[in-house]
Amino acid sequence: MSIVRVALDIPLATLFDYTVAEGVVVGQRVIVPFGKRQMVGVVMECATSTELSAERIKPVSQVLHDSAPLSKGLLDLLRFCSDYYRYPIGQTVLSALPARMRSDKPITIKPVLSYRLSESGAALDLESFSKRKVVQRRILAKLTEEPCNLAQLKALSATVGAQLKALIAGGWVESYSEAHLPSTGSGGCPTKSSMGRADKNIQTHTFDNAHTLTGEQQLAVDSITQAGGYACFLLHGITGSGKTEVYVHLMHHVLQQGGQLLLLVPEINLTPQLEHYFRSRFSDVNLVSLHSGLGEGERLHNWQQAQLGVAQIVLGTRLSVFAELPGLALIIVDEEHDSSFKQQDGLRYSARDVAIFRASQRGVPIVLGSATPALESYHNAQSGRYQMLKLTGRALAEARLPTVRCVNINQTVMHHGISENLLREVELRIARREQSLLFINRRGYAPVLMCTGCGWLSDCKHCAGKMVLHLKDQRLRCHHCGYQIRVPLACPSCGNADLHPVGSGTQRVEEVLQQRFPDARILRVDRDSTRNKRAWQTMREQIHANEVDILVGTQMLAKGHDFPALTLVGALNPDSALYSSDFRAAEKLFAQLVQVAGRAGRAEKSGEVLIQTAFPDHPLFRALQTHDFEGWAAQQLAERQMAGFPPFVYQAMLRAEGKIEAEVYAYLNSARAAAKELQHDVEILGVVPAALPRRANHLRAQLLIQATTRKGLQQFLRAWQPLLDALPAAKLRCSLDIDPLEF
Ligand code: ADP
Ligand code: ZN
Ligand code: ZN
């Protein structure tokens, strides 16, 4: 009998001891009894003794052999995260695994299907096949050459899945299963895969259409490939400077050496497009994606491909930072400033920061890429902790940076949030058959209902926020808690029937545009309309085919898309970020506007950006006009230093929410008193209401701790945590957020 210490998905900062008869290794998954339940856990340690008495210790119910054990390196990474983010070890370990590996049902491996022409497909004359079914024709042509698996076909088009189904339904193509994926093994070394490439030399791949790099690009690639061990690079390149091309060359280099590469991207909506792009650049390389939009089966499959070393490139959102990568040779974090790398619940990790730790743990280089680096990263690069690499010119000689102008909204005619100046520019673009994008900062832009008699506003009765008017279904909806009612016929407060929408939403903007330009084709893109992967794909294709004149949208549209016919960007309401309580609001706004401005004039047409503001002389807009990130960053950093904000201090935020205000404040005040007693060298601020002080009938408050060093903060937190755990908080939801981004 030996003893194992097991990580379980239980909110306690401890491992659980069990006995086991058969030989198990660290990293193996096991099923164990816990209370009345059976749970899946991961063996973290093997031991010879336990503090549990012989009667109390229970045996492991089952040792799972359906997947390779987790590597020591990954377990160390998760231990680090659990410690750094003050999150229970078991929950940390389990939350890093794909859902299928957390379930006590055995993992069944789906055979990897390959596709070939059926008899009638082989007999088909491609010339006679409908010319309009472009993708289907491409698939047929490819399969005429050789049978392919789905991953290979995906290089043909991002919509290949649906088209393939149509071909199978039509009887032209059939699927068959090759050998099964090896599901167990020692893990670690690249194994022969079922992807039909076992006969190929892993170190050669096609690498077509590579651009000759510019001097700056070449310098960046050389610096990174010559790193020889851990080094953190900040690739600061203006939009269109060819950062992606640098990534591609780095990938080429890593693939030649037989290594694995992890590419982290912020947006799940961007992954299909990026996946398609990189597949097209490396058509015979095994690339998998990892993000929460995948089905459970697909996610497990891709995770295992990475674990087996078969997947050479792993492209994923923040969760992929925990993928097993035995051959990891390089990590790239694209748009490293993006706040979606930070998880906002559970294990509140920053995937960028974890990636940096992982790179140093593995002794491999990491590249952080951005046109507008986070001030934290920029500061680190300036101080020499990271290595700064700059791309200062646009890669395509003829592509110039857009011109940026401000429209003073107090000195011009406004039409429900759109200035006459902007409408005229849009009109010009329509006449020239070019596209315009109207960018909306979501905050404070949703229309609410107001009574013209008494000034009543459509407050949510459960939250401190306002309910938003949804014209289409005539409802008021709270975007914080989901509460909704029909639009009232009269003011609930004074009975007046004259209720008016104030503020302007995407729908209002669309209406104004439609009235002014009745023949224009307007496309509204927001989070709701892009939730569906296919819908977004269709929209992108419409935009590319120039079937759209005006795009109206939020943040979504700013990120990473390349729309060649787009020459005008209008920022409708950037000002709300200027007087936000969040000290990062201006930094975020600058990044967003640079991103969205980068959409204009990417091809041979030069672009123009119009900013509607009441503060045309604000330094932020001045910096945008002169494309002066350096100046802006220097000024912001000076302000942060004066005010004592990150990156000059390190922060931790204790949050609490509950139904009874007194309980919330009692908890936080006791936490504060306990913190003071520890007498560490940290600054303990006051207990204050959260930015949204009431949500879904829960009162919310917070307590901020600051320290001048990361180490000092960590030492304090380690001492504080047991005191927090001892406080009565049964009816509260409490969380500790290290390096918080939301205020
Ligand atoms: P970024 O990622 O920095 O916004 P991209 O990598 O998308 O920029 O490059 C912008 C455009 O310039 C793309 O169309 C790309 O193909 C092109 N490009 C990049 N590098 C080069 C190069 N060295 N020579 C010619 N064109 C390039
Ligand atoms: Zn009223
Ligand atoms: Zn609400």
Residue from 209, 244, 270 whose mutation best tests the ligand 1 pocket (most atoms within 8 A of CB): 244
Choose among 385, 325, 318: nearest CA to 353. Answer: 318
Confidence of residue 464 (pLDDT cuts 50, 70, 90): confident
pLDDT band at 180 (very low <50, low <70, confident <90, very high): very low
Residue range 55-59: average pLDDT?
A: 91
Q: pLDDT for 66-95, tens place per residue?
A: 888 999 999 999 999 999 999 999 999 999
DSSP annotation string for 651-718: EEEEEEEES-HHHHHHHHHHHHHHHHHHT-S-EEEEEEEEEEEEETTEEEEEEEEEESSHHHHHHHHH
Query: Do 684 and 724 belong together in one domain?
Result: yes
Atom of ligand 1 minimally distant from the CA of 237: 3
Instruction: Say how many Å lie between the CA of residue 586 and the centre of ligand 3.
Output: 27
For residues 549 and 552, what is the distance between their CA atoms, to the nearest angstrom?
A: 10
Query: Does residue 434 sit within a domain?
Result: yes
Determine the distance separating the centroid of ligand 3 and the alpha carbon of 694, expressed in angstroms.
8
Q: Which tops the pLDDT comparison, 204 or 647?
A: 647
Best probe residue, ligand 1, of 390, 396, 599 (max atoms within 8 Å of C-beta): 396
388 contacts 382 by C-beta, under 8 angstroms: yes
Instruction: Please say if the pLDDT value at position 5 is more than 50.
Output: yes
Band (pLDDT 50/70/90 cuts) for residue 600 is confident
Residue 637 has pLDDT above 80, yes or no: yes
Closest atom of ligand 1 relative to the 247 alpha carbon: 6
The pLDDT value recorded for residue 52 is 85
User: Which residue has better confidence, 585 or 233?
Assistant: 233
Q: Which domain holds residue 172?
A: 112-178
Same domain, 340 and 224: yes
Q: What is the mean pLDDT of residues 659-679?
A: 96
Residue 3 has pLDDT above 50, yes or no: yes
Report yes or no on 468 lying in a domain.
no
Domain match, 556 and 412 both: yes
- The answer to the question of residue 290 being in a domain is yes
Mutate to test the pocket of ligand 1, among 245, 335, 559 (most ligand atoms within 8 A of CB): 245
Residue 190 has pLDDT above 60, yes or no: no
Give distance in angstroms: CA of 709 to centre of ligand 2. Answer: 53
More confident residue, 417 or 15: 15
When pLDDT is averaged across residues 274-285 and rounded to a whole number, the result is 88
- pLDDT reported for residue 122: 86
Indicate whether 412 and 546 sit together in one domain: yes
Q: Whose CA is nearest to atom 11 of ligand 1?
A: 240
What is the distance in A from the centroid of ligand 1 to the CA of 402? 16
Cα–ligand 2 centroid distance for 453 (angstroms): 5
What pLDDT shows up at residue 196? 34
Residue 195 has pLDDT above 70, yes or no: no
Residue 496 in domain: no
Tens of pLDDT, residues 135-145: 888 899 888 88
pLDDT of residue 258: 92
516 Cβ contact list (under 8 Å, min separation 6): 415, 423, 427
So what's the pLDDT on residue 110? Answer: 59
Atom of ligand 1 nearest to the CA of 560: 4
- For residue 636, the CA-to-ligand 3 centroid distance in Å is 34
Who contacts 169 (Cβ-Cβ below 8 Å, separation ≥6)?
none
Q: Which ligand is nearest to the CA of 240?
A: 1
Identify the band that residue 604 occupies on the pLDDT scale cut at 50, 70 and 90: low
695 C-alpha vs ligand 3 centroid, how far in Å?
6
Ligand nearest to the CA of 495: 2
Who contacts 712 (Cβ-Cβ below 8 Å, separation ≥6)?
650, 680, 681, 682
Query: 241 and 142, same structural domain?
Result: no
Which ligand has its closest atom nearest to the C-alpha of 695? 3
269 in any annotated domain: yes
Say yes or no: 169 and 191 in one domain: no
Query: What distance in Å separates the CA atoms of residue 583 and residue 743, rounded to the nearest whole number?
Result: 8
Which residues lie closer than 8 Å to 645 by C-beta, 6 or more apart?
A: 583, 639
Percent of the chain with pLDDT over 70: 91
Supply the residue whose CA is at minimum distance from atom 24 of ligand 1.
211
- Going by C-alpha positions, the residue among 311, 335, 334 that lies closest to residue 324 is 311
Q: Amino acid identity of 350?
A: S
Centroid of ligand 3 to alpha carbon of 477 (angstroms): 8
CB 359 within 8 A of CB 222: no
Q: Is residue 117 part of a domain?
A: yes
d(C-alpha 312, C-alpha 304), whole Å? 12
Of 672, 675, 676, 703, the C-alpha closest to 689 is 703
Number of the ligand closest to the Cα of 210 = 1
CA distances from 485 to 229, 460, 469, 493 (A): 59, 10, 10, 16
Q: Answer yes or no: is pLDDT of 525 > 70.
A: yes
- The pLDDT, as a whole number, for residue 252 is 94
Residue 656 and residue 629 in one domain: no
Euclidean distance between CA atoms 258 and 534, whole angstroms: 34
Q: Are residues 337 and 272 in the same domain?
A: yes
In a domain, 644, yes or no: no
Does 264 share its domain with 338?
yes
- 145 with 293, same domain: the answer is no
- Cβ < 6 A, ligand 1 pocket: 211-214, 217, 237, 239-245, 395-396
Shortest CA distance to 460 belongs to which of 696, 619, 632, 253?
A: 696
The residue ranking higher by pLDDT, 496 or 112, is 496
Provide the token pair at 355: 């990636």
Quick one: DSSP state of residue 146? -
Cross-strand bridge partners of residue 450: 457, 500
Each residue of 619-633: pLDDT tens digit? 999 999 999 999 999
Residue 676 Cα, ligand 1 centroid: separation in angstroms? 53
Q: Are residues 386 and 259 in the same domain?
A: yes
Nearest ligand for residue 499 CA: 2
Give the closest residue (by CA) to ligand 1 atom 5: 242
Residue type, 583: F
pTM value? 0.85
Q: Looking at residue 181, what is its pLDDT?
A: 40
**Among 158, 178, 198, where does a domain finish?**
178
Report whether 526 contacts 506 (CB < 8 A). Answer: yes
Supply the CATH number for residue 700's domain: 3.30.70.600
The alpha carbon dihedral of 272, 278, 280, 283 has a sign of negative
Closest ligand to Cα 597: 1
Q: What CATH number did the domain enclosing 530 receive?
A: 3.40.50.300
Write out pLDDT tens, residues 230-278: 999 999 999 889 999 999 999 999 999 999 999 999 977 777 778 888 9
Q: Provide the pLDDT confidence category of residue 192 given band limits of 50, 70 and 90.
A: very low
pLDDT at 452: 82
Helix 629-643 vs helix 375-382: crossing angle, to nearest 10: 100
Residue 469 maps to a domain? no
**Comparing 416 with 214, which gets the higher pLDDT?**
214
Chain centroid to Cα 724, Å, comes to 31
Mean of pLDDT values over 23-36 = 94
The token duo for 460 is: 């949510």
Mean pLDDT rounded to a whole number for the chain: 88
pLDDT in the model for residue 561: 65
Tell me which of 139, 160, 178 is where a domain ends: 178
Phi, psi of 406 (to 5 degrees): -105, 145
Amino acid 505: pLDDT: 67
pLDDT at 337 over 90: yes
Q: How many domains does the chain have?
A: 5
pLDDT tier, 533 (very low <50, low <70, confident <90, very high otherwise):
low
Distance CA 639, CA 636 (A): 5
Write down the pLDDT at residue 194.
34
Closest-CA residue to 475 (of 466, 488, 464, 462): 488
Torsion, Cα 493 494 495 498, to 10 degrees, reads: -100
- 78 and 192 share one domain: no
Separation between Cα atoms, residue 244 and residue 292, nearest integer Å = 23
- Residue 146: band (very low, low, confident or very high) from pLDDT cuts 50, 70, 90: confident
What pLDDT is attached to residue 267? 78
pLDDT value of residue 271: 78
Displacement of CA 537 from its chain's centroid (Å)? 18
Q: 29, 63, 96 — which closes off a domain?
A: 96
Ligand 1 atom nearest to 212, measured from its CA? 23
Q: Which residue has the tokens 């983010």?
A: 85
Ligand 3 midpoint to CA 481 (Å): 4
User: Mean pLDDT throughout 664-685?
Assistant: 96
Band the pLDDT of 560: cuts 50, 70, 90. Answer: low
Nearest-10 Cα torsion for 72, 13, 656, 469: 40
